[in-house]
Structure 1
Amino acid sequence: MLVCFRLSFVFFLLTAALSSCTDVIPIDLPTAESELAVEGTVTDQPGPYTVLLTRTSGYFNDQPSPAVRGAQVIITDNEGAADTLRETEPGRYQTHRLRGKIGNTYLLTVRTEGEEYRAATEIKRVPPIDRLEQQHKVKEAGWKDGYYVLYNGPELPGVGDYYRFKLYQNDTLRNKPDELIVRDDALYDGKYISNVELTDRPFRVGDKVRVEALSLPQDYYYFLNEMFTQINNVGLFSSPPSNVRTNVLNRNASGPKAVGYFAGTAVQSATITIQP
Structure 2
Amino acid sequence: MINKKYLIIYSLLLCLVSCEEVIDLPLDDMSGKIVIEGAVTDEDGPYFVQVTRSRKISFEDSGSVRVANATVVITDDQGQTDTLKYENGVYKTVNLVTNYGRVYTLSVTVDGVTYKSTSKMPEYVEFEGLKQTTLFNGSEDGVGIIPIFTDPSEKGNYYLFKSNKTNLDLSPAYTVMSDDIGNGEVNVKPISNKITLKKNDTIQVEMRSVDASVYKYFKALPLSTLENSGVSVTPTNPPSNISNGALGYFSAHTTSTKDIIIK
Is residue 180 from structure 1 mapped to residue 174 from structure 2 by the alignment?
yes
Is residue 153 from structure 1 mapped to residue 146 from structure 2 by the alignment?
no
Name the amino acid aligned to 2:153: P
- Aligned length, in residue pairs: 245
Name the amino acid aligned to 1:120: T
- Structure 2 distance, partners of 1:270, 1:180, is 15
Name the amino acid aligned to 2:53: R
1:199 counterpart residue number: 192
Q: Is this contact kept in 2: 1:45–1:99, CA < 8 A?
A: no
How many angstroms does 1:172 deviate by?
Answer: 5.9
After superposition, residues 211-222 of structure 1 pair within 5 angstroms as: 211-222=205-216
After superposition, residues 1-276 of structure 1 pair within 5 angstroms as: 14=4, 18=8, 34-58=32-56, 60=59, 62-90=61-89, 92-135=90-133, 142=138, 147-170=143-166, 175=171, 179-194=173-188, 196-200=189-193, 201-232=195-226, 240-250=234-244, 257-275=245-263
Name the amino acid aligned to 2:181: L
1:3 counterpart residue number: none
- Structure 2 distance, partners of 1:51, 1:242, is 23
Name the amino acid aligned to 1:85: L
Q: Is this contact kept in 2: 1:162–1:215, CA < 8 A?
A: yes
- Aligned CA distance change for structure 1 residues 125 and 144 (closer, same or farther; 3 Å): farther
CA displacement 1:108-132 (0-9 Å, x = unmatched): 1112212222211110124212222
How many angstroms does 1:96 deviate by?
Answer: 3.0
- Structure 1 distance, partners of 2:204, 2:31, is 40
- Structure 2 distance, partners of 1:31, 1:222, is 23
CA displacement 1:217-267 (0-9 Å, x = unmatched): 1122112222222213999xx9752243222224xxxxxx32221111111
- Aligned CA distance change for structure 1 residues 209 and 248 (closer, same or farther; 3 Å): same
Q: Is this contact kept in 2: 1:167–1:173, CA < 8 A?
A: no
Aligned-CA RMSD value: 3.5
- Aligned CA distance change for structure 1 residues 61 and 38 (closer, same or farther; 3 Å): farther
How many angstroms does 1:46 deviate by?
Answer: 1.8
Q: Is this contact kept in 1: 2:27–2:234, CA < 8 A?
A: no
How many angstroms does 1:185 deviate by?
Answer: 0.2
TM-score normalised over the length of structure 2: 0.77
CA displacement 1:203-228 (0-9 Å, x = unmatched): 23332222222111112211222222
- Structure 2 distance, partners of 1:234, 1:216, is 25
- Structure 2 distance, partners of 1:184, 1:50, is 26
- Aligned CA distance change for structure 1 residues 145 and 32 (closer, same or farther; 3 Å): closer
Q: Is this contact kept in 2: 1:146–1:204, CA < 8 A?
A: no
* Structure 2 portions without partners, runs of 5+: 13-24
1:7 counterpart residue number: none
How many angstroms does 1:174 deviate by?
Answer: 6.0
Q: In terms of Rg, which structure is larger?
A: 1
How many angstroms does 1:268 deviate by?
Answer: 2.6
Q: Identity percentage over the alignment?
A: 26
How many angstroms does 1:170 deviate by?
Answer: 1.0
1:254 counterpart residue number: none
- Structure 1 distance, partners of 2:107, 2:73, is 5
TM-score normalised over the length of structure 1: 0.74
Look up the SS of the partner of 2:218 in the other structure. helix
